[in-house]
Structure formats: structure tokens, C-alpha cells
């Protein structure tokens, strides 16, 4: 995109910083992010990293955006290749569980952690996190509604979407907190029961 070699160089560094930032934030939160820590770990100068983003808050916002892109590429985009309705709904759930289970972010789902961190605080970071989280919730809900409209399921689509999203997040939370993988198995059993064929 940038034909300018200067900003191209900057974008390389920005990408480098952000990839590290999302990993750090998934474990220590967006508040646990510090310019000095990022700079030291990446062998850059603190002021250089600072200048690249303008402020701590802008770095946090860029981190949220970068994480959302990674999230979409693992969960949303591949699901769109699957047939609408029930098959796609199943794909979303499975892709989400794999995304969490494989620790695409070392601390588990980025938006689970950061959402809990900023849920009760005002500000631009809260709004960005809420927007990303809400966008995915809408995606599940509309897919569930589609499955109902196509006659694949006969349930309350809103409740179903809420339930599936809840099960995934609970599996993520329990697994990361306890260091075990059994929560994913339990969640899969529950999801399977919800998404059984009902002709």
C-alpha cells in the first residue's frame, strides 16, 4: 500500500511491535503493555516505539485492531467458506474453540481478557473492544437466525447465539485458568447437543 519507502519501513516496525503487543496484552492486559518493555524486548528505543504510535492509548487501540484482524482471519473468514445456516454455525463454533485451544494468543482469547479488563472503564479503548466484541456477537446471531430461517433449526435464534458464544468463552476461561483442556471437551458436548439436526 505505501509506496513511500520511509513509511514502509515504519510499517514493518509497527507490525513487529503490534505482533508482540497483542501477545503481551493477551497475558498481562492492555495496561500491562508498556512502551519500555516492548522496546527492550524488540531491541528498539522507547522513544522510537512511542513516536510510531503517538501515545500509549493509540498503541492500545492499534493493538486491539491488530488482534481483531488476527481473530477474524482465524474464526470469521474461514467460516464464510462454509454453507450458510447450520453448517456455518457449526464451523464458527469449532473455529472459535480451535482458535482458543491452540492459543493463537498465548493468554487465550484476546478479547475475553481485554474485554474483562476494560468492560467497566470509559474511554476509546473500551469502545474499540466493545465494538469488536459486538461485531462478532452480531455475526453469530445473524448466522443463527439464518439457520433458523433456512429451517435447519427450530429454536430462538437469539438465545441460541448467546448460548454458543457463552459456551466458547467459558471453555476458554476455565481452560486458561486451570491449565487443562477438558473444558473444551465439555463445551463441545454442549454445543453438539444444541446444534443437532432437527428435521
Cα–Cα distances in Å, from 34 out to 17, 101, 116, 188? 11, 27, 19, 37
**Interacting residue with DNA among 22, 24, 52, 129 (CB under 7 A):** 52
Grid cell in block for residue 20: 508482540
Question: Min. distance of Cβ 178 from a copy of itself in angstroms?
Answer: 6
112 touches 172 (CB < 8 A): yes
- Select from 43, 51, 65, 67 the least CA-distant residue to 6: 51
Indicate the residue among 3 and 193 with the shorter CB distance to a copy of itself: 193
What does the chain come to in residues? 199
Say which residues have a Cβ less than 8 Å from residue 166's Cβ, sequence separation at least 6.
none
- Select from 10, 171, 23, 182 the least CA-distant residue to 93: 171
Name the segment binding DNA (CB under 7 A); options: 1-9, 94-102, 115-123, 190-198.
1-9
Task: Name which of residues 117 to 176 contact DNA (CB under 7 A).
Answer: none
Residue 151, contacted partner among a copy of itself, DNA, none, CB below 5-8 A by kind: none
Rg (CA), the chain: 19
Indicate the residue among 59 and 161 with the shorter CB distance to a copy of itself: 161
Question: Min. distance of Cβ 176 from DNA in angstroms?
Answer: 23
Grid cell in block for residue 74: 482465524
Residues making contact with DNA (CB under 7 A): 3-7, 9-13, 33-37, 39, 43-52, 55-57
Residues making contact with a copy of itself (CB under 8 A): 26-29, 31-32, 106-108, 112-113, 115-117, 119-121, 126, 129-130, 133-134, 137, 156, 158-159, 162-163, 165-167, 169-171, 173-174, 176-178, 183, 186-187, 189-190, 193
Amino acid at each position: 500500500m505505501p509506496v513511500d519507502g520511509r513509511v514502509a519501513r515504519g510499517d514493518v516496525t509497527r507490525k513487529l511491535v503490534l505482533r508482540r503487543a497483542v501477545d503481551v496484552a493477551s497475558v498481562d492486559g492492555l495496561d500491562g503493555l508498556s512502551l519500555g518493555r516492548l522496546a527492550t524486548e524488540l531491541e528498539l528505543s522507547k522513544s522510537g516505539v512511542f513516536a510510531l504510535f503517538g501515545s500509549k492509548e493509540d498503541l492500545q487501540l492499534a493493538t486491539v485492531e491488530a488482534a481483531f484482524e488476527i481473530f477474524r482471519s482465524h474464526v470469521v473468514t474461514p467460516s464464510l467458506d462454509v454453507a450458510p445456516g447450520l453448517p456455518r454455525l457449526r464451523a464458527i463454533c469449532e473455529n472459535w474453540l480451535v482458535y482458543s485451544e491452540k492459543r493463537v494468543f498465548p493468554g487465550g482469547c484476546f478479547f475475553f481478557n481485554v474485554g474483562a479488563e476494560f468492560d467497566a472503564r470509559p474511554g476509546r479503548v473500551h469502545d474499540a473492544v466493545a465494538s469488536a466484541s459486538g461485531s462478532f456477537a452480531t455475526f453469530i446471531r445473524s448466522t443463527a437466525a439464518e439457520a433458523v430461517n433456512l429451517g435447519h433449526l427450530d429454536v430462538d435464534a437469539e438465545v441460541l447465539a448467546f448460548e454458543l458464544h457463552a459456551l466458547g468463552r467459558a471453555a476458554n476461561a476455565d481452560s486458561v485458568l486451570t491449565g487443562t483442556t477438558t473444558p473444551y471437551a465439555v463445551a463441545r458436548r454442549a454445543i453438539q447437543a444444541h446444534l443437532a439436526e432437527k428435521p
